[in-house]
Amino acid sequence: MLIVTSNDIPGHRIDAVFGEVMGLTVRSRDITAQVVAGFRSLAGGEVREMTRALYDSRQDVMARMVAEAEQRGANAIIAMRFDTSAIGPNWTEICAYGTAVFALPLSRDEPGATGQSIHLTAGGGAAGRIL
């Protein structure tokens, strides 16, 4: 599944649009991680416990978004974004969203073709399947 933050995919034609897809999670704060992070923040620098928690949460919501797109028959997601917000003092909402599409790579003789799309259509990958 190709996921891009742009509204189109260079070298590809959007053949079908399946609508908005998203992945969502609400995480509670781990009190132990909060205490360790609090002490670490006194010394300055990266708070690894919080970085890891955010990274894991983003991976979870991305996987949920991709699963929803695949269920709809999409092979790509365009205009992908992350959003986060606090829900009260103890919970954080993390959301990934975008537009599920079916994108076809353009062949060598089509205007707008790129090296990647030419490779995909010339046997380097199945047409309609984006790696």
Q: With pLDDT > 90 as the criterion, what percentage of the chain qualifies?
A: 65
pLDDT, tens digit, for every residue of 84-103?
998 887 788 999 999 999 99
- Express each pLDDT in 34-55 by its tens digit: 666 666 666 777 777 778 888 9
Beta bridge partners of 23: 96
Walk me through the domains of the chain, giving residue ranges and CATH numbers: 2-124 (3.30.110.70)
pTM given for the model: 0.82
Compare 49 and 72 and report the one with higher pLDDT. 72
User: How large is the average pLDDT for residues 25-37?
Assistant: 71
